[in-house]
Amino acid sequence: MQAEVVQRLLALNATFYQAHARSFAETRRRPQPGVATVLKSIDPSARLLDIGCGHGVVARQLALQGHPGGYTGIDASPQLLELARQAVIQPGFAFFAADLAQPGWSDGLAPAFSVILGFAVLHHLPGNALRQRVASDLARLLDDAGRVEVSVWNFLELERLRRRVIPWDRLGLAPSEVDPGDYLLDWRQGGSGLRYVHHFLPSELAALAESAGLAASAERYADGETGRLGLYQSWAKPG
């Protein structure tokens, strides 16, 4: 994918979350079942990094579970971060602005984290090169015995979501200018909008982990009316 197209898609998503932060948050008031399962498995002593923390759904659930702290949430959207800070006022919990798409996004973070959470965020990063760089950043931030828990949106599972796919010419792009698995989806809650989303195959998500020197395991589907709307994997350093 050309760098210019990558930047256009990143800008599209940034505009979406700026315009629709509150309506987006209203549709996601509690963790998805797959996310809740992961959170229940986290040791209370774990030092956590939550990339793409959004409006604080994960942080709020952890606070309700009594997690004692050591939580850092980052997101590129100032609007969503403000909602997170309003929703979660807990000692040891902190939220910072950081854009995964920008080199050096992790410069202010001190390794190593016991658990890195990346729920519903990797599919918003256009281009395999960018996704590989972010995966390598996560591996660098991870404790040797730690793990990365990721999920991506399996939206092609549902017909109603497939109907929300918009042709690329809406943005003045040809299908040949984006990668296989790239989609443009509309938004219909509290106003119209468009988002870029990449649809991952399980093997593709595992290959992304391997590109960063991590091994993927514990692959499973969860969420939605079919129980397959989210694809989950755990990544860890081999050995």
Q: Is 100 helix (H, G, I), strand (E, B) or coil?
A: coil
Q: What does the angle CA 177 – CA 182 – CA 184 come to, to the nearest 5 degrees? A: 95
Distances (CA, A) of 79 to 16, 143, 180: 11, 30, 31
Cβ pair 119, 58 in contact under 8 A: yes
What is the fold, at CATH topology level, of the domain defined by 25-156+200-236?
A: Rossmann fold (3.40.50)
pLDDT at residue number 26: 66
pLDDT at residue number 179: 97
Residues 151 and 157: their CA atoms lie apart, in Å, by: 15
pLDDT at residue number 21: 66
Could you say which residues of the chain have pLDDT below 70? 21-23, 25-27, 190
Chain centre distance of CA 154:
13
% the chain with pLDDT above 70: 96
Instruction: Give me the chain's average pLDDT, please.
Output: 93
Provide the residue ranges of all domains of the chain, joining segments of one domain with +. Answer: 25-156+200-236
Angle between helices 57-65 and 78-87 (to 10 degrees): 20
Cβ pair 13, 196 in contact under 8 A: yes
pLDDT at residue number 100: 97
Q: Is 185 helix (H, G, I), strand (E, B) or coil?
A: strand
Cβ pair 31, 206 in contact under 8 A: no
Residues 50 and 73: their CA atoms lie apart, in Å, by: 5
| Single pTM value for the model | 0.94
Cβ pair 150, 205 in contact under 8 A: yes
User: Using one digit for the tens of pLDDT, what is the confidence trace for 1-13?
Assistant: 999 999 999 999 9
pLDDT at residue number 23: 67
Distances (CA, A) of 52 to 56, 121, 123, 132, 163: 9, 6, 11, 16, 26
- Do the strands 48-51 and 113-119 form a parallel or antiparallel pair, or are they unpaired? parallel
User: Using one digit for the tens of pLDDT, what is the confidence trace for 13-55?
Assistant: 999 888 776 667 666 778 999 999 999 999 999 999 999 999 8
Q: Is 26 helix (H, G, I), strand (E, B) or coil?
A: helix
